[in-house]
Amino acid sequence: MRMTILFVAVLAGCGADKLATGGPDAAPRPDGAGPRPDGPGRPNTGRDGGLRPDGRVRDAGMQPDANPECRSPVEGQACASEGLICPGNCPDRCQFCNLWTCSGHVWTPLEAFPDPSCGRPDGGLPDAHSPDDARRPSPDAAMTCTSAGSATLNAPPVEISFEGLPCSLSLAEVARGVRLPYAVRITATTPGVIPGPSDAGSCNRPGPSGLSFSVTIEGNGQRYCLCDVGPCPPAPAMPTTLQPGSWPDTYEWTGRNWSGPSDTNNPMGAAFPPGLYSFTVSTRGLRRTPTGDVPFSLSASRTFYLTR
């Protein structure tokens, strides 16, 4: 059974997480035990587990009765909302909890660690009937955001980070237009890389890093990307040498569905509703080897909340 381990921790305010998603160490462990913590390039399933200390999923929008997709997930069966996390049976916050996540559009078991405050004399929580209720944190303070990364074995040594990306944004904020930050870092000189297209029409050319990146915001049946900006002549498949360096960037978004203008001036769609969404940066291409050109891909994502 494929099992993803989700570590419980809270990201405060902005996500300063960095994911090493490529390089010589980017393969999973041969024993199937999942990510290894001993070096860069390991697939990273995030540092925080999406649970309240009482064992419930933090976001009320992920309760089974709030999302029909969460009512009957079955391991290995297809799912529609990539990145969706559904609660399981979590009666005791001091025990492991089995959740479900839609990963690669397939239902996958997700295991969340116990609440680290267990064992403290006060349980780490204010009393349910405490007179200090007025000093309790707001519901937004219970939100956590997770990070994930993956890469094929032969992917170049690339790190994608999301420092400065908030854990929550209001609908009004995004409607006015926001710039979501991310950064790309190449950690070693890498020859023989042929950047692949990052959109349907091969219009998005490589940037200063030497790679072409695709950015997607999706979840709960919503999706935004510049996936189709029209047809363009394909770029020549010429190998290049990636050089070490860091390249910060931002992605502009107004909170609506869209797949790009295409060559028919597609209009933007409806606004995203409140909920949990993923912000994903990915790239693909070929690595030139003595036996031929071998495809590679790598991606990293951070979740965030849209709130009223």
Q: What pLDDT score was predicted for residue 210?
A: 95
Enumerate long-range contacts of 261-269, CB under 8 Å, 24 or more apart: 261/228, 261/229, 261/230, 262/201, 262/228, 262/229, 262/230, 263/201, 263/230, 263/231, 266/228
Structurally, the chain folds into a number of domains equal to: 1
Residue 297 lies in a domain: yes
Domain extent at residue 171 = 147-307
Residue 247 lies in a domain: yes
Q: What string of pLDDT tens digits covers the 308 residues of the chain?
A: 433 333 333 333 334 455 645 665 444 333 434 333 333 333 333 333 333 333 333 333 333 345 778 878 888 888 888 767 776 666 665 665 667 777 778 887 765 545 544 444 444 333 323 333 333 334 444 678 999 999 998 999 999 999 999 999 999 999 999 999 999 999 999 999 999 988 888 888 899 999 999 999 999 999 999 999 888 888 788 899 999 999 999 999 999 999 999 989 999 999 999 999 999 999 999 999 999 999 999 999 999 999 99
Asked whether 50 and 146 are in contact (CB, 8 A), the reply is yes
Residue 259 lies in a domain: yes
Q: What pLDDT score was predicted for residue 94?
A: 61
Q: What pLDDT score was predicted for residue 121?
A: 44
Residue 168 lies in a domain: yes
Nearest to 17 by CA among 251, 256, 303: 303
60 CB-contact burial (10 Å; exposed 0-12 / middle 13-18 / buried 19+): exposed
- Which H or E element spans position 112? strand 106-112
Residue 8 lies in a domain: no
Residue 181 lies in a domain: yes
Q: What pLDDT score was predicted for residue 252?
A: 96
Residue 272 lies in a domain: yes
Q: What pLDDT score was predicted for residue 112?
A: 55
CATH number, domain of 264, equals 2.60.40
Q: What pLDDT score was predicted for residue 159?
A: 96
Residue 279 lies in a domain: yes
Q: What pLDDT score was predicted for residue 28?
A: 38
Asked whether 156 and 296 are in contact (CB, 8 A), the reply is yes
Q: What pLDDT score was predicted for residue 160?
A: 96
Q: Which tokens in the block code for residue 262?
A: 């295409």
